[in-house]
Structure 1
């Protein structure tokens, strides 16, 4: 029997005056939305994303396609809001998260992403990114033009290539993973990983087994690192013992959106 526990924290940071991040901390779905478009617009867009996902948390047999459909619907709602309110036209949001979905009658994790917020997976003492950033900096890394270290200060680091609120239906990255006892997920806005490199994130998770304390420690470290953006972290722990769930280092399966 598996038990899932979680903890979270969101902070405005040291520079911004408003927190445009919104979070969903549910029973079967955990997500972070990072709004774009300035105060009011960014707040509104990220809140609309979370409001659109919230009903899915109550579904006992959530399917991967339900997540994609919900995000497509949210995209249309954000567009409609912008058209109806010209002062905030162009608002948008990233979104990333993990959800318990039913595949073949068994529970799996669905990791989903649109934009440059991230999901990390921590298991067996190893931290790995479970999502790919949709940003110009990430594209330059994949092309071998810059290194991940250079990307942290590159002028393209804040240019997002996918988001909700665009005229075309968003391409949602979605991967399926078997549920594994002992694994942990970190769902965060780019305000966290923009201040903390992966080794620091690894060390904080390793030192903080409690999900609530881990989220607090991660956000506090990002604030000390500069806090130049809003900072949000959700830490999800998977506990229990089921030998039929497979290995602790499963290979993710990408699902076409």
Structure 2
């Protein structure tokens, strides 16, 4: 049985221009592509993000994943991060965002998960769309109409998150499930990228650079060049072939001829 989505992926990370420690960690290996942004300083955030990546890395090599698989990995990583408090890292915590390869009736689907304010985007047909919704105080203010998204970029409260793995949080992850299309490009990043770069800038790099490694490196370097106030981590995932509704794998350059897709599916815990 072939994988429902065959991908090409890459990642890049940088400590940034102002931090001494990189508390970000990432995983970019099928069927899972995730970014964790640690919090709590030395021996806390760095260890928390690495711990979560370690637990989720046990899923590498499978052809597809389910929400149950991700929930199991989330539960084990949450327990492990919680245990760090017994080793002098009581404030340890991390965000987690990313995308997994999934299958529905043999078709290729993207399964996105998120907890915290790292983000996952879809770049399709030249358009960048944010899939995840930040779990942050700022996002709540935006939804209540108290501030605008533009004001949020410079608001001093932008680092207050409302859900995390560890750091005293017990909030669940949100999930989104939707059909993949050949030629899709998924972007997963820590907020060090989106704090510094506009959606237009990000989209232009994804549009102009076809190689996922180069795209990840350029975006990371641009975020540092434009301020680098935080650690920056970027993972780029391309759908090379996707199991289509016709029961075959469609190459990215054949997508225009086989535009047979399903409506996006709603998943408990996530809203589109």
TM-score (norm 2): 0.88
Q: Distance in 1 between matches of 2:60 and 2:100?
A: 8
Q: 1:176 to 1:146 in 2, by over 3 A?
A: same
Note the C-alpha offset of 1:204: 1.1
Aligned mates of 1:162, 1:72 — CA distance in 2: 14
- CA apart distance, 1:16: 0.4
Worse-superposed segment, 184-193 or 2-11: 2-11
Assess if the C-alpha contact under 8 Å between 2:52 and 2:77 holds in 1: yes
Q: Indicate if the aligned counterparts of 1:32 and 1:97 stay in contact, CA closer than 8 A.
A: yes
Residues 201-226 of structure 1 show CA distances to partners (whole Å, capped at 9, x for unaligned) of 11111111111111011011101110
1:80-229 to structure 2, matched below 5 A, reads: 80-82=83-85, 84-85=86-87, 87-167=88-168, 169-229=170-230
**Equivalent residues of 2:153, 2:195 under 8 A apart:** yes
Secondary structure (helix, strand or coil) at the match of 1:214 reads helix
Matched, 1:254 2:267: yes
C-alpha distance after superposition, 1:21-54 (max 9, x if no partner): 0111112101100000102211100001001101
Q: After TM superposition, list the pairs within 5 Å mapping 1:2-151 onto structure 2.
A: 2-82=5-85, 84-85=86-87, 87-151=88-152
Q: Which segments of 5 or more consecutive residues in structure 1 lack a partner in the other structure?
A: none
Give how far 1:166 is off.
4.7
Contact persistence 2:93–2:165 (CA under 8 A): yes
Structure with the higher fraction of residues in helix conformation? 1
Asked if the contact 1:75–1:166 (Cα under 8 Å) also holds between the matched residues in 2, the reply is: no
2:225 and 2:152 map into 1 onto residues whose CA distance is 21
CA RMSD of aligned residues (A): 2.0
